[in-house]
Each structure stands twice: as C-alpha cells, then as structure tokens.
C-alpha cells in the first residue's frame, strides 16, 4: 500500500474482496476464518442477509436526516434498546464507540463538573477525548486471586480511590484484549461506593455488549445497575452505529443546564434501523444462548488441546470472548503468522502477548475443534523449534 495511511502492524494480506459469515475471501481464491468478527463488530456474521436488506431498503427510503425533523420509527427503536436493560431513560445514537464514550463523559461532566474520572488499569475506553484522560486507575490484578469473602473500601485496591461525585467508567471483561474476569464482589462494592458518593457509574459495553459474553451485556454478570451504558461495535454488526443509554436522573440534570448537542449523524435513521435489525436477529435466533454455549465449548476445547503446552500460561474467557495468555518465550505474532498459513486469522495483543478468539456467534460449531487443534499444532511446533534452537546454542 503506497497511499493509504494505516499506522498499525499489518499481516501483509491486502486483497480481501468479500466477507461472508465467519470467512474472508481474497482475490486469489483463498478463504480465511475470521476469529475476530472484523474488529469484534460482525458478531452475527459478516455480510448478513437480513441486515443487508435493511441497509438496502433504508438507502432507498431515508438514510440521513436533519436533526430538527426525525424519522417516524426512531422512538420505537430507542425503546427497544432501553427494554434490553433495566434503565428508565433515553437513548442517543451516534457512530463510533469512542464518540459515544466521549458523549457519556460530556454528560457526566455536566452533572458533576469536578467529578474525578476513574477506570480500571488496562481498560481501553476511547481513541480520543476526555475518557483518555483518566484521573485515577484501579488495578484489579490482585482481586483476580483474592480469597476474601467480601470487598471492603479499605482494601488497598480501592482505598481512597472513589470520592464524592466520582465518574466511574469501566469495560467489564475485554481489558484491551487481556480478557480479565473481575470478581462480582469487587464490581458490586464499586457500585455501592459510587452510589454512596453520589457518583455516576458508566459501563463501556462496546466490546462486551450485544451478547458477546453470553448475556445481553457484560454488566449483567454482576447484577448491578449502571447510570449509563455505552454500546458500539456489535450494535451495527460492522456498520458504524453506537449508542448511549442514559438514565432519567442524568437526563433531568442535563436538561436543566439547557445543554445542546448537534452532530451530522446523531440519531441517523440508517444506523438506528441497523441496530434494531441486529437486536431482532439476536432475539429471533437466540444468539445470546448460542454465544454462551459455543463460548463454553470453545473454551473447554482450547483448554483440552493446550493444557500441556509450556508457553500457554492461562486460558480465560466468558461467552465468545476468549484470551490465551502466552509466555514471553514466544511472540503472539509468530503464532499469528503460522495460523495465517492455515487460513486462520486470530486476534493478538502485542502488549500483553495474548491471543484473542472473538468469532461471530454464528460460527459453524463444526469448525471449533479444528481451530483449537490448529492453534495447538502451531504453538507446539513454534515451541519445539525454540527448544531445539536453545539446546543447540547452549
Ligand atoms: C472496550 C472498548 N471501548 C471503546 C472502544 C472504542 O470504540 P471505537 O473503536 O468504535 O471508537 C473500543 C475499541 O476497540 C473498546 O474495545
């Protein structure tokens, strides 16, 4: 590529011409399994017939609109999204996840001008804006092994972290591809502290929402009630639509400030109709159950295949959000490249040396044992090669 600016490490494949379900197709006739759902967006499968039809019909009727006039069906779609949660309030539709996170921050700061923004260490929340300037980070690593029955605010993880009017934003499980599973007692404790301090609890469900973890939303695993929920990625199945679900309390506070907000594609009919279509597809095909069940069987298959490979340190997952921690003896890039030769595209985190398996919920279950076996073969061969080379050089 000579003219395209794409500043990130690249696989070298630049001839994809089509995607369908869990596959990519290249111009020279190759077919790759996509274990990342694009970038965790095409969760009900690439190039989905019913979503395509919605896009087609909407293009032929109304794809974009002035914000002073609204489409006839938009309130119904907002209600449909709200009904998936226990929140009574309103919804704003935007485009990207980062934009929606930023909007949730703008609202929070209208309510609590000097509220400290808190998040978890390793959480990725936004590409830009206020959310990238977190005032306080909570490191939950010690909590992953904690055996205390209850979390207390005096524990060093939480001590002096949450103060009055705090704005707490967290991604429940993705942790920048690390895939961590925080204990319920920690999240419940944080919720309690935020409420006691009159703060705002925002859940970033951009990666974990819309069924990825085997429930509609990641926060559902903790039985908490956030003040705002931010959605993106899977909400549009690859089309850029995001949403902020905002509770009544915040809406009322913000309305009193005479706040105005206007951008070109806010509440655009195309994105809203696609989001509605995705919700209906998930409901009609019981894809939440599918994600939970396939996720459990993928995880156990990976554990079964990889359990005696030295460089595999840990395999963690919830629903179809799975991370495989690789020791620093080999790099995930080496694994990625070898899997490419087997026509499998796996997710990787260079920073944490983690492999990611986030396939569409509609992946053919027959592929799962084959993929797990291919991952094992590749890691095993790289590990054996390394051992041989080390032996020779000693
Ligand atoms: C947890 C989380 N929050 C927010 C974002 C930002 O979303 P977007 O890339 O659509 O702006 C991402 C993107 O990967 C994410 O993983």
Domain ranges of the chain: 16-47+288-374, 49-284
For range 45-69, the mean pLDDT: 96
**Counting atoms of ligand 1 from 1, which one is nearest the CA of 174?**
1
Task: List the residue whose alpha carbon is closest to atom 2 of ligand 1.
Answer: 125
Q: Residue 233 CA: which ligand 1 atom is closest?
A: 10
- Residue 90: per-residue pLDDT: 98
**Beta strand spans in 21-170 (E):** 23-26, 31-34, 89-94, 117-120, 136-138, 167-170
Residue 361: pLDDT over 90? yes
| Protein residue whose Cα sits closest to atom 9 of ligand 1 | 97
Cβ neighbours of residue 106 closer than 8 Å, sequence gap 6 or more:
130, 261
* CA atoms within a 13 Å half-sphere pointing along the CA-CB vector of 352: 20
pLDDT at residue 32, rounded to an integer: 98
Res. 129 pLDDT band, cuts 50 70 90: confident
How far apart are the CA of 61 and the centre of ligand 1, in A? 30
Q: How much is the pLDDT for 153?
A: 86
Per-residue pLDDT at 130 exceeds 80: no
Residue 224 CA to ligand 1 center (angstroms) comes to 22
Please compute the mean of the pLDDT values over residues 62-79 and round it to a whole number: 94
The single residue listed with the structure tokens 């429930």 is 215
Atom of ligand 1 nearest to the CA of 171: 1
> What was the pLDDT predicted at 131?
77
Q: What is the mean pLDDT of residues 11-29?
A: 97
What's the CATH architecture for 49-284? 3-Layer(aba) Sandwich (3.40)
Atom of ligand 1 nearest to the CA of 40: 14
Please state the rounded mean pLDDT for residues 93-113.
Answer: 97
CA distance 171 to 104: 14
Q: Which pLDDT value is given to residue 254?
A: 97
Neighbour tally for 19: CB within 10 Å: 17
Over 80: is that where the pLDDT of 198 sits? yes
Dist CA 95 CA 90 (whole Å):
17
Residue pLDDT, tens place only, 228-247: 999 999 999 999 999 999 99
Q: What is the CA(389)–ligand 1 centre distance, in A?
A: 40
Share of the chain above pLDDT 90, in %: 95
Q: How far is the CA of 267 from the centre of ligand 1 (A)?
A: 19
Ligand 1 pocket: which of 8, 103, 126, 242 to mutate (most atoms within 8 A of CB): 126
For residue 132, what pLDDT is reported?
80
Q: What is the pLDDT of residue 381?
A: 97
d(CA 197, CA 191): 10
Q: Is the per-residue pLDDT at 56 higher than 80? A: yes
Residues with CB under 6 A from ligand 1: 96-98, 101, 124-127, 171, 174, 204, 206-207, 232
CA of 256 to the centre of ligand 1 (A): 30
96 Cα nearest atom in ligand 1: 10
Tell me the pLDDT of the chain averaged across its residues. 96
| Closest to 378 measured CA to CA, from 328, 321, 326, 337 | 337
What is the 254 CA–ligand 1 centroid distance (Å)? Answer: 25
The residue nearest atom 8 of ligand 1, judged by CA position, is 97
Q: Give me ligand 1 centre to Cα 205, in Å.
A: 9
Q: What's the CATH number of domain 16-47+288-374, 3.30.420.40, 3.40.50.1820, 3.50.50.60, 3.90.1150.10?
A: 3.90.1150.10
Of residues 38 and 132, more confidence is placed in 38
> Average pLDDT of 368-376?
98
């Amino acid at each position: 590529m000579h003219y395209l600016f794409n500043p990130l490490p690249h696989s070298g494949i630049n001839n994809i011409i089509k995607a369908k379900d869990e596959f990519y197709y290249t111009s020279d006739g190759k077919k790759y399994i996509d274990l990342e759902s694009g970038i965790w967006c095409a969760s009900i499968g690439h190039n989905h017939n019913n979503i395509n039809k919605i896009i087609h019909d909407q293009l032929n009727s109304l794809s974009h609109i002035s914000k002073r006039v609204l489409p006839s069906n938009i309130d119904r779609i907002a209600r449909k999204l709200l009904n998936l949660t226990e929140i009574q309030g309103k919804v704003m539709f935007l485009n990207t996840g980062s934009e929606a996170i930023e909007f949730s921050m703008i609202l929070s700061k209208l309510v609590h001008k000097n509220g400290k923004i808190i998040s978890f260490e390793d959480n990725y929340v936004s590409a830009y804006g206020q959310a990238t300037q977190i005032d306080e980070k909570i490191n939950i690593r010690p909590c992953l092994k904690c055996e205390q029955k209850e979390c207390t605010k005096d524990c060093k993880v939480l001590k002096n972290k949450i103060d009055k009017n705090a704005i707490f934003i967290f991604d429940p499980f993705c942790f920048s591809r690390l895939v961590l599973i925080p204990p319920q007692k920690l999240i419940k404790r944080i919720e309690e502290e935020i409420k006691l301090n009159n703060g705002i609890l925002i859940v970033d469900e951009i990666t974990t929402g819309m069924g990825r973890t085997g429930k509609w939303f990641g926060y559902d695993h903790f039985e908490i009630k956030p003040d705002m929920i931010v959605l993106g990625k899977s909400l549009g199945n690859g089309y850029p639509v995001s949403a902020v679900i905002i509770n009544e309390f915040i809406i009322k506070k913000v309305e009193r400030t005479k706040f105005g907000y206007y951008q070109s594609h806010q509440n655009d009919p195309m994105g809203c109709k696609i989001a509605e279509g995705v919700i209906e597809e998930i409901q009609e095909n019981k894809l939440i159950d599918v994600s939970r069940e396939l996720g459990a069987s993928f995880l156990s298959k990976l554990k079964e295949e990889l359990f005696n490979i030295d460089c595999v340190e840990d395999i963690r997952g919830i629903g179809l959000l799975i991370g495989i921690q690789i020791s620093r003896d080999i790099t995930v890039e080496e694994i990625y490249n070898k899997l490419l030769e087997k026509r499998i595209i796996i997710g990787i985190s260079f920073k944490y040396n983690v492999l990611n398996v986030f396939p569409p919920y509609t992946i053919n279950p027959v592929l799962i044992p084959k993929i797990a076996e291919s991952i094992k073969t590749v890691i095993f061969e790289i590990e054996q090669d390394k051992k041989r080379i080390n032996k020779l050089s000693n």
